[in-house]
């Protein structure tokens, strides 16, 4: 057995619980989506030095690699089916890094019912690269698109905004001294997202349009509105913020810009026709996911208008872009 085969057998095979993964002993996996269902496909990768710090613990890196993909599936209303993993490691990489990585990945795969189906293992002269390709399914033709929002629909967002962006700012030393528990919570939100898998079915059965917030609330809202040919006015004081985040904004109002543009929230932003709004709220509550109504969709193709404390909020950089 080659060293590569040995790595696959020791670290990845234990995670390949789905019968279609064939114990990672064949060239490909073979799976069938449930009858009458569409496959929903997504890939999102993490590069060392770009998406995570070289000294970040590898269990968090593993969870983030899978969860950022699960967040996209949830925003489309899909349930996870499984995933592929392409990983490139330096020659002489630390085996304990990989052991911790695969243990956490296996825990998440089990927790989100999203088993490892296969993948690829390579060496690289550069930074570690981790690409997850996730597969989900939903009843045929029911994927929630970005382009279905209509004037009069209500805009909802799950959870709370800005925490990952503030966690990253704290890691970069760009925030004032924080209480230890706040700092830990915010950094945790940056390192390990909480995808809203539990909200997927409520989104699928109620939302006219949806997007997951990965690149920043303002930019992702603009993408949803642009795709739907609608606009919206947002009073940022209505955005859901945790108590400690609210306190940071009170102390330094400029923090609101980090919150609405920073990204990595992995919350779901969706529009719901008014007739379905109460049922959506109940479904979200049964799923134990907080949702907040933050505005009403309007006709028009102007960019969304954000205001804070009665003044227009003009953003230097509405969302994250790699280039």
Cβ of residue 135: shortest distance to Mg ion, in angstroms? 19
* Beta strand spans in 196-315 (E): 209-213, 230-235, 267-272, 291-299, 305-308, 311-312
Query: Would you count residue 278 as binding Mg ion (CB under 5 A)?
Result: no
Are residues 40 and 129 in contact, defined by beta-carbon separation less than 8 angstroms? no
Of the two residues 69 and 194, which places its CB atom closer to ligand ADP in the complex? 69
* Residue 77 DSSP symbol: T
203 binds, among ligand ADP, Mg ion, none (CB under 5 to 8 A by kind): none
| Member of 6, 26, 95, 120 binding Mg ion (CB under 5 A) | 120
End-to-end CA separation in angstroms for the chain = 42
Closest CB to ligand ADP among residues 24, 68: 24
Give the whole-angstrom CA distance, residue 8 versus residue 85.
11
Burial 54-63 (b: 16+ CB within 10 A, else e): eebebbbbbb
For ligand ADP, the binding residues (CB under 6 A) are 8, 12, 24, 26-27, 85, 87, 116, 118-121
The two tokens of residue 77 are 């209303």
* From the list ligand ADP, Mg ion, none, partner contacted by residue 24 (C-beta under 5 to 8 A by kind): ligand ADP
CA triplet 41, 199, 214: central angle to 5 degrees?
A: 60
Say whether residue 5 binds Mg ion (CB under 5 A): no
Q: Nearest approach, Cβ of 35 to ligand ADP (angstroms)?
A: 26
Choice between 26 and 120, CB closer to Mg ion? 120
Question: Which of Mg ion, ligand ADP, none binds 8 (CB below 5-8 Å, type-dependent)?
Answer: ligand ADP
**DSSP-assigned beta bridge partners for residue 82:** 135
Count of positions on this chain that bind Mg ion (CB under 5 A):
1
* In the complex, minimum distance from the CB of residue 201 to ligand ADP, in angstroms, rounded to a whole number: 28
Q: Where do contacts with Mg ion occur on this chain (CB under 5 A)?
A: 120
């Amino acid at each position: 057995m080659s060293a590569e085969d040995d790595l696959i057998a020791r670290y990845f095979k234990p995670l390949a619980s789905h019968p279609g993964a064939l114990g990672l002993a064949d060239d490909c996996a073979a799976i069938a989506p449930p009858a009458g269902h569409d496959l929903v496909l997504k890939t999102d990768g993490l590069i060392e030095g770009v998406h995570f710090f070289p000294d970040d613990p590898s269990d968090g890196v593993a969870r983030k690699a899978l969860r950022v993909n699960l967040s996209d599936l949830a925003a489309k209303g899909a349930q996870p089916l499984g995933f592929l993993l392409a990983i490139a490691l330096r020659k002489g990489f630390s085996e304990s890094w990989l052991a911790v990585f695969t243990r956490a990945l296996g825990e998440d795969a089990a927790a989100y019912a999203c088993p490892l189906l296969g993948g690829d293992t390579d060496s690289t002269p550069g930074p570690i690269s981790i690409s997850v390709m996730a597969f989900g399914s939903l009843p045929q033709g029911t994927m929630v698109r970005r382009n279905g929002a209509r004037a009069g629909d209500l805009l909802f967002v799950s959870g709370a905004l800005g925490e990952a962006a503030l966690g990253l700012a704290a890691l970069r030393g760009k925030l004032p001294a924080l209480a230890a528990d706040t700092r830990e919570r915010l950094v945790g939100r940056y390192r390990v997202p909480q995808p809203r898998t539990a909200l997927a079915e409520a989104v699928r059965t109620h939302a006219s349009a949806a997007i997951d917030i990965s690149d920043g609330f303002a930019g992702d809202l603009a993408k949803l509105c642009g795709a739907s040919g609608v606009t919206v006015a947002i009073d940022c004081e209505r955005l859901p913020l945790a108590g400690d985040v609210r306190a940071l904004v009170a102390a330094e109002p400029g923090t609101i810009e980090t919150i609405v543009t920073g990204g990595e929230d992995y919350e779901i932003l969706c529009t719901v026709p008014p007739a379905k709004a109460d049922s959506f709220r109940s479904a979200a509550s049964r799923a134990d996911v907080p949702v907040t109504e933050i505005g009403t969709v309007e006709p028009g193709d102007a960019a969304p208008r954000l205001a804070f404390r009665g003044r227009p909020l003009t953003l230097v950089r509405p969302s994250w872009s790699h280039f």
